[in-house]
Structures are given as C-alpha cells and as structure tokens.
Amino acid sequence: MTQVERQAWDVVVIGAGGAGLRAAIEAREQGMRTAVICKSLFGKAHTVMAEGGIAASMGNVNEGDNWQVHFRDTMRGGKFLNHWRMAELHAREAPDRVWELESWGALFDRTVDGKISQRNFGGHEYPRLAHVGDRTGLELIRTLQQKIVALQQEDEREFGDHEARLKVFQECTVTRVLKEADPAGGPTGAGGSGRVAGVFGYERESGRFFVIEAPSVVLATGGIGKSFKVTSNSWEYTGDGHALALLAGAPLINMEFVQFHPTGMVWPPSVKGILVTESVRGDGGVLRNSDGKRFMFDYVPDVFKDKYAQSEEEGDRWYEDPDNNRRPPELLPRDEVARAINSEVKAGRGSPHGGVFLDVSTRMSAETIKRRLPSMHHQFKELADVDITAEPMEVGPTCHYVMGGVEVDPDTAAATGVLGLFAAGEVAGGMHGSNRLGGNSLSDLLVFGRRAGLYAAQLAANTRPEDRPVVAEADAAAAEAEALLPFSAEDVNATTASGPVENPYTLHQELQQAMNDLVGIIRKHEEMAEALNRLAGLRARARRAGVEGHRQFNPGWHLAIDLRNMLLVSECVARAALERTESRGGHTRDDFPAMDRLWRRVNLVCQVATQPEIDAERPAVHGGGVAPADPGLSGLVGDQAGQIQLERRETPPIRPDLLQLFERDELVKYLTDEELSQ
Ligand code: FAD
C-alpha cells in the first residue's frame, strides 16, 4: 500500500461551485475548521459558466413581485412535483442571498434608478433575474472567492496561518465518502449503518491519495450532464456526488427528470451543445422554423393557455406593457420549448444543421445586443462565424441540468439515512420537481449552500472530540485498491478471461451515445429497456477498463474512475424514466404523452440494490495482470439486473396555506380529486 496522507477537519465540502463555496463560508463563519475539495482549479467550477442570472423576487423592476409569486412560478415550472418546503424556503430567502452577495462586493447591472436590475426569463411571471450581462456565474464565483480570501486574511491576522480555518484543496478528486465502523458490529466503510467519518480522494496532479476525516461532509458536486453526448455541461459533470451518496447508502430521488435546454448551439459539430442563454429570449429573441413561422404559438399547453399570448401582436406588446398583456410563448418553461423545437425539426421544418432559428437581430440594436449579451455575441462570432446582431442563430436542445439528486431534509440539507452527510446545489434533489426554471439554480445554490454549511457546522460543533468518527485503516486501503484497479492491466492490448482490456474513452463515448439516443429528450419503453441492457454491458466492460502510464496527471485514469459514477447515475436515470409512465417536465414519454395526476403523488427513489462494500480483503492489484472479472470497482451486483433498485414513495402533502396561493381551477390540473377534497 502507498502512503496515504491523513488530515482532520470539522467540515469537508466537496465542490467549489456556488453551493460549495456558500456552504464553506457559512461553516467557517460558524467557527468550524472547513476544508473545500474541488477537482478543478479554484474558481473554475461549472457555476462560472452560468449566464442569465439569479432568480430572486426583489421586485426591483416590477413591484408586483414577491416570494409567493416566485413560489407559485417554481411549483408550476416543476409541475407540482417540487418538494414544497424547498420551493418555499428558496423563494423566501433568495432576495437576502442576492443582497448579501452585493454586500460582499458583487457588481450587478443596475436599473435607471440604481437598483439591482432584473430580467425576464421563461416561466417567471415578473422580471426576476439579477444579472451581470450574460456572465452572472463568473461574478457570483468571483464574489464568493473574494469572501473566502477575506476570511483567510482574518485567520492570517488571528493565527498567523491563512488556512487555519478554511483551506481549499484544488485539483483533488474524492472517490469515496467513508463511514465509521458500525458499533453494532455491522459492516464498515462505504456501506453499513455508521455515520460519516470522512472522505478518500487523490490529487490529480501527483496522483497521491489522501484521507480527510470529518464528522460532516457536504456534497456540492453539481450535475451529471457528461453522461449525454450533446450537453452544455463541463467536464466536471460526471455525477460524482450523486454516486458518492448512493455508495454511502443515501438515496437519490427524481432522477428521471433531466432538463434539455431548448437552445444549445447546433453548428459547427465541435461546439454542438454549448449553451445559448435563455436571456436571448428573455430580452426579446424569437424562435422561427424554416418557413419563417414563430411556431411557439402552436405549442402552448393547456395548463399554461391563459398565461401566454395567443398572437404575435400581444406577445410583442408585452415587452412594453407587461401588466396589460400576456407574455410570448418563447418564454414558456424550458421543457415546453425544447419539446416544441424537437417537434419542428422532426416535422422537417428545421434549420440547415438540424435546429431552428433564434433571432434577436430584428428586435434590438447592435449596440444593445453587444451590451446585454456580450458573451453570446462573442461565442457565435468566434465559434460559428455568425454575427448575432445581423443574422439569426441556429439552436437546438442540449442536456443541461439534472433535477434529480440526493434526497435531503429541506431545512437542514441533511441527506436521508446517513448521519453527517449533507447535499446542496445541483447534486441535491427535490427543489425543482420535474423541471427547473432558469435562474432558479443560482439562487438554489446560495439558499441551500448556506443551509448545508450551517447545519453541517452545527453537527460538527455538537460532536465531542472523543466522539469524532474515525476512518478505519482497512477502509482507506480498500478505497485505494479500488482507485488503482485501472492500472492492473500490464498490457492494455491484452485479452482477459472475460474479454479485452477496455479503453475508458471508448466506454465513455458509448455511454454518452446510448444515453443521448435512448434516454434523451423523447423516451420510449423499448429504447429505455435497450439502454439498460447497454448499460449492463458497459458496466461489465468498465470492470476491465485499463490505463497505461503512472498516476501523475493521467486523464485516462481519472476517466476510468469517473466511469463508475457515470454508469451508476445513468442507470438511475434510465430505470426511473422507464418506471414513470407519464410525461411531466423534463421527462417526456412518447408512449405516455399525457401528465397523470396520480403520478404527482409519487417520487421514485433510487438506491443501490445491494449495499456496496469495499472489499478490504482484496489485494492491491497494481502490477498484477488484468483487472479481475469479479464485481470489481465497487463490489456491486454486476449482472443484467443492474445495480439500482427503485422504490415508489409518496410525495409529502403540500401545506394548505401554500396551496391557497393558487386558484382552484389551476390546482385541478395537477392535484388528485382526493387531495382537492381535503
Ligand atoms: P458546480 O458549480 O458545478 O460545482 C461543482 C464542484 O464540484 C466543482 O468545484 C467540481 O470541481 C467539484 N467536484 C465535482 N466532483 C468532484 C469530486 N469527485 N471531487 C472533488 N470535487 C468535485 N443557472 C442559473 O440559475 N442561472 C443561469 O443563468 C445559468 N446559466 C447556466 C449556463 C450554463 C452554460 C450552464 C451549463 C448552466 C447554467 N446554469 C444556470 C445552471 C447552473 O450554472 C448550475 O446548476 C450550477 O452552477 C451548479 O452549481 P453547483 O455549486 O451545484 O456545482
């Protein structure tokens, strides 16, 4: 066994995006020694890419806005599958989180009277997104980083060590959340019933392993989009936090709900999937098909009919006079727009490269476009040689966001069933129901990042030094052996008893293709069943994934490790999508096209079929021939039955005073008769 460095902190936060940094700031401000671990460079998290803004009902542009309206919009957007308490906390607390950011130095765009400016976005009744041009995520991360540096400077003055109470371990990947030995004599390590004891990971640059012990671990690892071929997501989005939670025994919910953003670039092929921000439509951009028709008027679903304009004239008037007109259907929630674009392309009315046209050039002056949408102007000019001030963009759906995630307690962000584990941001489930509204992620990160940091700190503070959980040597050794498995093939061209050594890149590409083709924007029973078959095959082959070279910055090795996570979360998505026989939000079934009120009462909960154990007895494998054909990496059941078991769980009833925020006519579309009578 190699030397594994050990450290002890009070709170470990995995992830340095908006959720992770906000959690870390809170935990440190509560006085806890807090370690932040991130697999990219500090400041490079996915949050940086966020463009349009942060949704918060500050009412700066329209005084009619308040938290109740935001709550209503969020529940409508999620088709009432959201955890109502999360949606309530989010709507109530988002304005404070934005003002707090400003007090920490964020420079938002302003209204003419000097308030934080707010822009329109799909599904939001009023202009609600606080923004910095179309580079809001960058400002958010810059501000949180600056706050972290300020806290570190305080510690430098007080302790002579700027990392005394807050340290960032950048370019480090966590591969396991470890738990303490079960006092009742049950299994230890990843599974078992014990509480969280710490994390195991490796430094990307050196390949060195480390263990950080802590009674509280916050997952803030973002999403899963890299399991799909066409995606707006960055390389980091391999579903690590989702998988770490599953492997530690914490369930995931709502994994069938994956958001396909309606507008990604479609051309040239090398940039397919890169996001075209919703701000383009929020600021007046219109969608047209190859006949030049504004087709979205044909796609307003019944549940939204009375809230959206029925004619182009009314839609256009809304930009000037929103109080007396209804909004244009280009601003429907994302799931609706994505499906509409998909239908137009399928019907042969698409653009030359398989998308539709998004035009802002006829709606705003070139100066305004460059000022309000500078990144989009630059992106299209540089990547596609298209000048969006003069010509339309070609756009089509791209995998963007996962609504599903770790099941958490809404108030404390504590993961279900694993004491000491917390989750916030995109890795957590429940908040957005079946579909997230644009802008509601950045606010979610801040609201629930703060809460996760607060309650993780409280748990750590309440753990007496003599009661702190300890990571067992055997568990650290087993996690190390697991991480080293891809090096066990001495010759990557060899064939083992169970098949050839596999190239992790090939497996990744096949996985992305399968998810894209078979569990994508429109789903069918046979295709999802086929996806599960392919995933089983890929899982078997992934056990033979082999890499050459050594542990110093070896991307092939990193990917081989990530594959375990991608396969786990992909199976959750496919299994849950197969189970849910209705269409709702980000889950569209060709064979069950309608929304079914009975399904609104159901959350699909994913857990690993057999509680996985790290096989501590297995010898370290480096230098020992090809990877074994046994259950391998995670020790999970590896047959066609898959690794994930699904459970249907009833959604909690929505609090009556919150239901009263809606008209009965609207509730009738979502709630069952039984619920309505209550
Ligand atoms: P991230 O910001 O992704 O951070 C995840 C962190 O976890 C990273 O630091 C990563 O290195 C780390 N990590 C992951 N796995 C591991 C591991 N195994 N070990 C250690 N570290 C790990 N939302 C909005 O509300 N408004 C917008 O305008 C908006 N625009 C967007 C534009 C684009 C192009 C995209 C792709 C998304 C946009 N979103 C927007 C969505 C939003 O950006 C994300 O949902 C959000 O940033 C996720 O934040 P997070 O803190 O949960 O995770």
Q: Mean pLDDT in the chain?
A: 91
How far apart are the CA of 635 and the centre of ligand 1, in A? 29
Q: How far is the CA of 222 from the centre of ligand 1 (A)?
A: 5
Q: Atom 23 of ligand 1 has which residue's CA nearest to it?
A: 441
**Residues noted as catalytic:** 334
| Helices vs. strands in the chain: H and E counts, helices first | 18, 22
The answer to whether 410 and 427 have CB atoms below 8 angstroms apart is no
Integer Cα distance of 283 and 140 in angstroms: 21
Atom 14 of ligand 1: nearest residue by CA position = 221
CA 19 – CA 36 distance, rounded (Å): 11
The answer to whether 311 and 87 are in contact (CB under 8 A) is: no
Structure tokens belonging to residue 654 = 């929505």
Extract the tokens encoding 27.
């935990």
Of the residues 132, 142, 221, which should be mutated to test ligand 1's pocket, given the most ligand atoms within 8 Å of the CB? 221
Looking at ligand 1, which residue's alpha carbon is closest to its atom 5? 221
Q: 223 and 428 in contact (C-beta within 8 Å)?
A: no
Residue pair 42/108 in contact by the 8 Å Cβ criterion:
no
Query: Contact 362/288 with Cβ under 8 angstroms?
Result: no
Q: Would you place residue 493 in the very low, low, confident or very high pLDDT band (cuts 50, 70, 90)?
A: confident
Probe residue for ligand 1, chosen from 134, 441, 482, 561 as the CB with the greatest number of ligand atoms within 8 Å: 441
| Atom in ligand 1 nearest the alpha carbon of residue 425 | 52
What atom in ligand 1 is closest to the CA of residue 449? 51
- Tell me what the mean pLDDT of segment 69-83 comes to: 97
- Ligand 1 atom nearest 175 alpha carbon: 18
Residue 431's nearest CA partner among 421, 442, 420 is 442
Out of 135, 236, 408, mutate this one to test ligand 1's pocket (max ligand atoms within 8 Å of CB): namely 236
Nearest CA to ligand 1 atom 38: 50
The secondary element (H helix, E strand) that includes residue 130 is strand 129-130
Write out the H or E segment, with its range, that includes residue 97. helix 84-103
Q: Please give the Cα distance from 512 to 570 (Å, whole number).
A: 9
- pLDDT one-digit tens code per residue, 649-676: 999 999 999 999 999 999 999 999 888 8
95 CA → ligand 1 middle, Å: 20
SS3 36: strand
- Helices 136-159 and 84-103 pack at an angle, to 10 degrees, of 70
In the predicted structure, residue 612 carries a pLDDT above the cut 90: no
Of 79-93, 213-227, 640-654, the range with the lowest mean pLDDT is 640-654
* Chain-centre distance for alpha carbon 570: 13
- pLDDT exceeds cutoff 80 at 615: no
Q: Is it the case that residue 627 has pLDDT exceeding 60?
A: no
SS (H, E, C) 412-450: CCEECCCCCEEECHHHECCCCCCCCCCCHHHHHHHHHHH
Query: Hey, is 196 helix, strand or coil?
Result: strand
Contacts of 625 (CB under 8 A, 6+ apart): 488, 489, 490, 496
Give the mean model confidence (pLDDT) for residues 565-583.
97
- Closest Cα to atom 37, ligand 1: which residue? 50
* Residue 171 zone, left/alpha/beta (φ > 0; ψ -120 to 50; rest): left
Q: Which helix (H) or strand (E) holds 650?
A: strand 644-650
- The span from the CA of 192 to the CA of 181, in Å, is 8
Q: Which atom of ligand 1 is nearest to the CA of 424?
A: 52
pLDDT confidence bin for 193, thresholds 50/70/90? low
The number of residues in the chain equals: 678
Whether the CB-CB separation of 357 and 146 falls below 8 Å is answered with no
> Residue 430 burial (CB < 10 Å; 0-12/13-18/19+)?
buried
668 C-alpha to ligand 1 centroid (Å): 36
Q: Which atom of ligand 1 is nearest to the CA of 20?
A: 51
Ligand 1 atom having least distance to the Cα of 201: 19
- pLDDT confidence of residue 641: 61
**Alpha carbon of 533 to ligand 1 centroid (Å):** 30
Percent with pLDDT over 90 in the chain: 84
In the predicted structure, residue 192 carries a pLDDT above the cut 90: no
Residue nearest (by alpha carbon) to ligand 1 atom 1? 17
**Given a cut of 60, is residue 188 above it in pLDDT?**
no
* pLDDT for res 275: 94
Residue whose Cα lies nearest atom 46 of ligand 1: it is: 47
Q: Is 559 exposed, middle or buried (0-12, 13-18, 19+ CB in 10 A)?
A: buried
Distance from residue 19's CA to the centre of ligand 1 (Å) = 8
Classify the phi-psi angles of 338: left when phi > 0, otherwise alpha if psi is within -120 to 50, otherwise beta. Answer: alpha
How far apart (Å, rounded) are the C-alpha atoms in residues 320 and 561? 53
Spatial separation of the C-alpha atoms in residues 417 and 194, rounded to whole Å: 10
Taking the centre of ligand 1 as the mean of its atom positions, its distance from the CA of residue 446, in whole angstroms, is 12
Q: With 90 as the cut, is the pLDDT of residue 437 above it?
A: yes
Q: Quick one: pLDDT band at residue 635, thresholds 50, 70, 90?
A: very low
Choosing from 46, 97, 168, 278 the residue with most ligand 1 atoms within 8 A of its CB, the one to mutate for a pocket test is: 46
Domains assigned to the chain: 259-400 (3.90.700.10), 495-650 (1.20.58.100)
Model confidence at 411, pLDDT cuts 50, 70, 90, reads very high
Q: Which residues pair with 545 in a beta bridge?
A: 502
Calculate the CA dihedral of residues 546, 551, 557, 561 and round it to 10 degrees: 110
Residues 6+ apart with CB under 8 A from 83: 410, 430, 431, 433, 651, 652
Strand partners, 261: 398
Span 369-392, average pLDDT: 94
| 622 pLDDT more than 70 | no
CA–CA dist 78, 253 (Å, integer): 14
H-helix or E-strand containing 159?
helix 136-159
Question: Amino acid identity of 178?
Answer: L
Index of the ligand 1 atom closest to the CA of residue 279: 28
Q: Which helix (H) or strand (E) holds 525?
A: helix 525-542
Local confidence band at 610 (pLDDT 50, 70, 90 cut-offs): low
Protein residue with its CA nearest to atom 26 in ligand 1: 439
Cβ partners under 8 Å of residue 2, min gap 6: 208, 209, 480
Query: What residue ranges line ligand 1, CB within 6 angstroms?
Result: 14-20, 37-40, 45-47, 49-53, 136-137, 173-174, 220-222, 232-233, 236, 240, 275, 401, 425-427, 438-442, 445
Ligand 1 centroid from CA 670, angstroms = 31
| Distance in angstroms (rounded) separating the CA atoms of residues 15 and 222 | 8
Report which DSSP code applies to 39: S
Report pLDDT for 629.
Answer: 30
- Cα 280 to middle of ligand 1, angstroms: 21
What's the CA gap between 656 and 352, in Å, rounded? 50
pLDDT for the residue numbered 626: 27
Per-residue pLDDT at 278:
87
Q: Which residue has the tokens 């969608």?
A: 287
Among the residue ranges 309-313, 485-489, 592-596, 620-624, the one predicted with the least confidence is 620-624
Q: Which of 12, 47, 431 to mutate to test the pocket of ligand 1 (most atoms within 8 A of CB)?
A: 47
> From the CA of 426, how far away is ligand 1's center (Å)?
7
- In angstroms, the CA 337 to CA 95 distance is 28
State yes or no: pLDDT of 628 exceeds 70: no
Tokens of 528: 């999802």
pTM for the structure as a whole:
0.92
